Structure 1
C-alpha cells in the first residue's frame, strides 16, 4: 500500500534469494557469458544481437560494465549458492578472472569494453564483402521461416532452387531452433559444406545472424552474408553454436521466469511487470515466451539439453505443460 501510495508498482513475492527482479534477471548475463566462453563470438556482437534482434535496451556486456563486476559477480555467486548450485544460475569463470584482473567495467576504464573519458569504445563491425549471386536452396523444416527467406532471396534477385534436394553448387539456408548448423545439416541429410544457418526467431527486420558449420565453404559463408546484407540490414556471423545467441539467451530468460511462476514466488503478471520495470526488458519473461511462442522456446531448450547434456537447459514444468496444452505462459492454473 505504501509503494502504491508513492506512485510505484509494488511486486508482492515470497521470500526468495535475489528478491524477484534479481532472481528473474539471472539468465541474461550468465547465458551471454556462456556463449562468450564457447568462442561463439565477441562481446560487441552479442550486445548488438540482443539490442537489434532482441529489442533489449542494452546488451549484457554493456550492462555488466555499467553495474561493475565487483557488484555483478557477487550477486551471481550469491544467488547460485543460495539455490544450492542450481545449474540454471551457474556463474561463469570469466567474471572471476576479470574481477581478479581489476577489469570491473566503466568505473575502472576497462571491462568487456574500454572507456575513454567515460565513453564506451565500441569496435566497428567488420565489412561484408559483396558476392555474386549464386543458386540458393532453403530448407522447408520451418515453412514460415522458409517463406520469409524466399521473399528475401527474390527481392535480392538471387536464383532460388525449388527441388526437394539442393544442387551441388547451391547455398543451403537452414533455420534451426536450438541446434547448430552441423547437427541441423546432418539431420536433414545435407552436405554440411554447403550449409549456413540463419536465426529466424525474431525474423529478419533489424539484424540477421548466421552461422556456418566447421566445413562450410568460405565462399558460401560470404555469399550468405552478402545476400542477407543486400538491403543494408546488418549481419552478424557466428561460429557454429547450438542456438545462435538470441535463441539461447531468450530461451533461458523465459525458462527462469517460468520456474519462478512454477515455484509460486509471484503471480505471472507480477513477474512480468516487475522485470519490465526493474530490468527494462522489452517483455517480462512469460510474455516474452508467449511473444516468441512457448513451443518454439521449448524446442530450443530441449535441443540445447540434448546437445550439451547440461541441466541448466532443462525446461521448467510450467513451460513444458503450457507449451503442450497451447496455453499462454501468463495464465494462472485453474482451480
Structure 2
C-alpha cells in the first residue's frame, strides 16, 4: 500500500529553533504547511522566523523562489511559547538537545496535549528511537525523521523505525519527506542509524593511518580528494565538523555496540578534544586556521626521470587508464601478459595495486625485491594524484622509477610509508564492509545504504556499488589481509560479503 504525504492543510510543530529546527521549519513552510516554532529560549522562535524569512528573500534574489511564494511561506511561520499551542498540529518534529531524558520528557508533555492522531518525530542523530518512545503511552506514534545540516540544502532524510513504531506512520513520513523535495531512506533504529554508523571508518582509518605514520594530514587528505574523489579528506572534514562533536558520535556508537573494535575511538582525537583543538571553530585542529597561518601542503614528490622500458599488463581499470594516459602523452610502452596481477613493470620495477598487504610483505611473498604498490583511484582517468608505497627490500632507485612512471602519466605522486591497505583502498573497503553489515543486520537495504552515504555525507559513490566495481573478491581479500596483519576483530569480513562470494554474486545481484 502506498501511503500519502501529509496534506499541506496539516499544520506542523517544530520544537527547537536552532540551526536544525529552523532549517526543518523552512522546508515545511516552503512546502505549504503552517509551521509553529517553539523554543524554551525567550525570543528564539521569533528570531528563527526572521532568519528563515531572510533565507526566502535570498532564494528570491537567486531566482529559486518567486516573491509571491516567499511571502506566502513567510506568513505560514508562527512563533509559539507554550506546548499547548501545538495541540492542533498533525506532526511535531523535535530538534532539541541530544539527551534521552530531555526528549522523553518533551514527548510525554506533547502526548498530554496533542490529539491521538498527531505524529511525533525526532530529529535525533544517534539516540535510539525505541528508547525515546518507551515513555509514551502509545510508542507506535514516534518515528525518527533525521535531517542533515543544513537541512534546506541536504537532500537526505533518514526515516527511522523503533521497535514499536507504526509501519504506516513511517511510510506516511517517508511520503511527506519526498513531497518536501527530499530523498528519504528507511532505516531501523540501531546505533548511528545508516550515515553515522557507516561513516565511522572514513574517520577511523584516516586516524589510524596518521597514528602509524603513513603520511601527514595534508597528504592523506589530498590522496582522499584527488585520488579517492571525496569532497574532503578525513582530517579537514573532522576539523569542519568539530572534534568534540565527531568524537562524541564515535564514542556513542562504540558504546552502543558494546565496545565493538570496529568503532574504537582514536586516542589522537581524544587528545585533540582534551587540548581544546576542536577544529575551525577554535581555529586549531589538525590544521591551523589563524588568519596568518601558512596553509598545509601535501607531500608531492619532485620530478623524477622517465623510465624507458615500460610494459603494461592486463586490462584492469588501473592498467587500462595508465595505458590511455601514457598513449595520450606519446610515451612508448608495450602490452604484456603476466602470471600474476601486476599492473605495470618499468625499468625492472614491478607495480601492483594494493591488496591489503604491505609492499614489504608482498615483495617477500612474490620474491620480487623491486616492488611498489599503488593505491586505488575512484576514476583512474580523471584522478590527479596517485599514492605509492615501496617495499623495504627495494633498492634506492625503485621509488624514483615508480615516481617517474606515474608522473609521465600525468599524476602528482605522494609516497606513503609502507602501511597495510594504503589509504583509499583500506578506507573504501571498510566503508563497504560496514555498509554490508548494516544491510546484513536489516538496518536498511543496499540501495538505501548507498543513497544515504552519497547524499548524507557527499561520498562520490555509494560504498556497496564501489565495492562491486572494485570487485567483491578484491574487497574481501583486502579485509582478510588487514585482519591478518593487525590481528584485530576490527577488520572481520561482513557475513553479507562472504555470502556474496560463496554465491558467486555481487552485492547488487
Indicate the TM-score class for this superposition, using the shorter chain for normalisation. 0.7 to 0.9
C-alpha displacement at 1:232, in angstroms? 3.0
Q: Give yes or no for the alignment of 1:104 onto 2:278.
A: yes
Tell me which structure has the larger Cα radius of gyration.
Answer: 2
TM-score by length of 1: 0.87
Corresponding residue number in structure 1 for 2:481 = 303
Structure 1 residue 267: Cα displacement? 2.0
1:256 is aligned to 434
Q: In 1, Cα distance between the equivalents of 2:501 and 2:281?
A: 43
Contact 1:136 1:160 in 2 (8 A): yes
Count of residue correspondences = 327
1:216 maps to 394
Residues 200 and 29 (structure 1), Cα distance of their counterparts in 2 relative to 1, 3 Å cut: closer
1: CA distance between counterparts of 2:321 and 2:484? 28
Shift in CA distance, 127/143, structure 1 to aligned 2, threshold 3 Å: closer
Aligned with 2:444 (options 260, 266, 291): 266
Tell me: higher relative CO, structure 1 or 2? Use CA pairs within 8 A at least 6 residues apart: 1
| Aligned match of 1:56 | 230
| 2:501 is the counterpart of 1:327 | no
More strand as a share of residues = 2
Is residue 2:453 matched to residue 1:278? no
1:156–1:170 Cα change, 3 Å: farther
Q: Secondary structure at the match of 1:209?
A: strand
Q: Is the 8 A contact 2:356 2:420 kept in 1?
A: yes
Q: Which runs of 5+ in 1 are unaligned?
A: none
- Contact 2:301/2:414 (8 A) holds in 1: no
Equivalent in the alignment of 1:26? 200
- Does the C-alpha gap of structure 1 residues 226 and 241 become closer, same or farther in structure 2, counting only changes over 3 Å? same
The 5-angstrom pairing of residues 1-335 of structure 1 reads 1=173, 2-117=176-291, 121-131=295-305, 133=307, 135=309, 144=316, 145=318, 157=331, 170-190=348-368, 192=369, 194-200=370-376, 202=378, 204-205=380-381, 206=383, 207-330=385-508
Distance 1:9 1:147, change over 3 A: closer
CA change 1:121–1:197 in 2 (3 A) is: same
Q: Secondary structure at the match of 1:211?
A: strand
In structure 2, distance between residues paired with 1:189 and 1:133 = 22
**For the Cα contact (< 8 Å) 1:134–1:171, is it kept in 2?**
no
Cα pair distance change 1:224/1:269, threshold 3 Å: same
Greater shift in the superposed pair: 146-155 or 102-111: 146-155
Contact 1:156 1:227 in 2 (8 A): no
Q: Is the 8 A contact 1:210 1:235 kept in 2?
A: yes
User: What is the RMSD computed on CA atoms of the aligned residues?
Assistant: 2.9
- Shift in Å, 1:98: 1.4
Distance 1:227 1:158, change over 3 A: farther
CA distance in 2, matches of 1:249, 1:133: 31
* CA distance, structure 2, for counterparts of residue 188 and residue 143 of structure 1: 21
For 1:85 and 1:24, how far apart are their aligned partners in 2? 16
> Structure 2: where are the runs of 5+ without partners?
1-172
Q: Alpha carbons of 1:54 and 1:120: their partners in 2 closer, same or farther (altered >3 Å)?
A: farther
Partner Cα distance (1:201, 1:326) in 2: 25
TM-score, with length taken from structure 2: 0.59
The C-alpha deviation readout for 1:123-180, integer Å capped at 9, x for no partner, is 1543413225354577x6x76355655666676747779697999x722223331111
Relative to structure 1, the CA distance from residue 298 to residue 156 in structure 2 (aligned partners, 3 Å threshold; closer, same or farther) is: farther
> Deviation at 1:314?
0.8
Give the secondary-structure state (helix, strand or coil) at the position aligned to 1:13.
strand
Contact 2:325–2:410 at 8 Å: present in 1 too? no
> Is the 1:136–1:171 contact (alpha carbons within 8 Å) kept by the matching residues of 2?
no
